[in-house]
Amino acid sequence: MKNRALFLIKFVYMNSIIENNTVYYYSLIIWIIFGLIIFCILIKFNKIPTYGRYFPKRGILLNNRLGWILMEIPTLILMPYFTFNGFNYPNTVIICFLSIYMAHYMNRTLIFPFRIKSKKKKLPIHIVISAALFNLCNTFFIGYYFGNIAEHEITWLQTPYFISGLIIFLIGMFINIKSDTILINLRKNNNDDYKIPFGGLFRYISCPNYFGEILEWLGFAILTWSLSTLTFMLWTCFNLIPRAIRHHNWYKHRFNNYPDERRAIFPKIL
Ligand code: NDP
């Protein structure tokens, strides 16, 4: 009896995945709703120390660089795995999507951790584990889409979706890396102090690195034109908007001379 029930569940699940991906799309909707709930909690309880500089350094702590690599590595390994192990044979367009995505994660996993200069900074292990799990879920959703659902002809690369999305992605990546560089250079003297950042988009907002990251994934959602990448863009907003508001309030509280005209993350808006 139990075996029959299990067989039935497996049969229904496999059919809905293989035939029209119903389970996949329902899972994506649930994932978006979950992200929205997290966003509301983070906005409402913006003083909860959930990340970075605010987090009490207790429990098991990992070296900052190692922590970053462990958080991001699931994406670097599993995205090609999911893409190449689906039912579809990846064509040129999918390889392009994958390369664009991997360019971001090569920087985030293998370059960025070796550029940051916080000497004493440690990352709590549960933050590392939860971020790695989050990356795992997103990687699965996008990788499954690339490997099983996406059906783009080569002419897709000439469409306004692909071209405009790629331009937005590249502008976002430039802003993200340039802003991260400005922050990293504030630690030239190798101390762990915080200073007011200037230059680039810091003129208008406190967290241009987050703004650039959101632009990147907006561009990626446009150039791939799919619910899975749109979901990832939404999750990036759910994560980074509350974090930017927190950073912004922290700067205003910490520095009396903090520029008044700066917003948190969107120039002139928020
Ligand atoms: P932060 O801006 O908090 O910090 C980036 C680096 O700059 C850290 O090494 C930090 O040091 C240092 N820093 C920040 N502000 C100052 C300052 N005022 N003075 C001196 N040094 C400073 O970024 P995150 O660590 O939150 O994120 C890093 C990157 O990862 C960003 O590009 C972000 O977009 C991306 N990211 C993406 C997410 C997503 O959901 N896609 C989620 C989280 C991050 P310290 O560590 O000591 O504070």
Each residue's pLDDT, cut to its tens digit, for the chain (270 residues) gives 566 666 655 555 555 555 578 889 999 999 999 999 999 999 988 765 555 566 666 678 888 899 999 999 999 999 999 999 988 888 999 999 999 999 999 999 999 999 988 767 788 898 899 999 999 999 999 999 999 999 899 999 999 999 999 999 999 999 999 999 999 999 877 677 889 999 999 999 999 999 999 999 999 999 999 999 999 999 999 999 999 999 999 999 999 999 999 999 999 999
Structural Rg of the chain based on CA atoms? 20
CA of 222 to the centre of ligand 1 (A): 26
Q: Which atom of ligand 1 is nearest to 176's Cα?
A: 32
What is the per-residue pLDDT for 49? 56
* Dihedral in degrees, nearest 10, Cα atoms 116, 191, 245, 207: -50
> Can you tell me the distance from the alpha carbon of 232 to that of 134, in angstroms, rounded to the nearest whole number?
10
CB 194 within 8 A of CB 53: yes
Binding pocket residue ranges, ligand 1, CB within 6 Å: 52-53, 116, 118, 121, 176, 180, 183-184, 186-187, 192, 194-195, 197, 209-210, 213, 236, 239-240
CA of 214 to the centre of ligand 1 (A): 14
Q: Which atom of ligand 1 is nearest to 192's Cα?
A: 47
Burial degree of 56 (CB within 10 A; 0-12, 13-18, 19+): exposed
CA-to-CA separations, 137 to 31, 47, 75, 78, 79, in angstroms, rounded:
9, 26, 9, 10, 11
- Strands (DSSP E) contained in 55-172 are 61-63, 122-124
CA-to-CA separations, 83 to 51, 143, 199, in angstroms, rounded:
31, 5, 39
**Nearest residue (CA) to ligand 1, atom 34:** 210
> Can you tell me the distance from the alpha carbon of 157 to that of 225, in angstroms, rounded to the nearest whole number?
12
What is the per-residue pLDDT for 188? 76
The one-letter amino acid code at 213 reads E
**Nearest residue (CA) to ligand 1, atom 48:** 53
Burial degree of 169 (CB within 10 A; 0-12, 13-18, 19+): buried
Q: Which atom of ligand 1 is nearest to 217's Cα?
A: 41
Q: pTM of the predicted model, to two decimals? A: 0.90
Q: Which atom of ligand 1 is nearest to 213's Cα?
A: 34
Tokens of 188: 């030239």
Tokens of 112: 């960025």
Residue 137's nearest CA partner among 75, 86, 87 is 75
Separation of CA 162 from chain center: 20
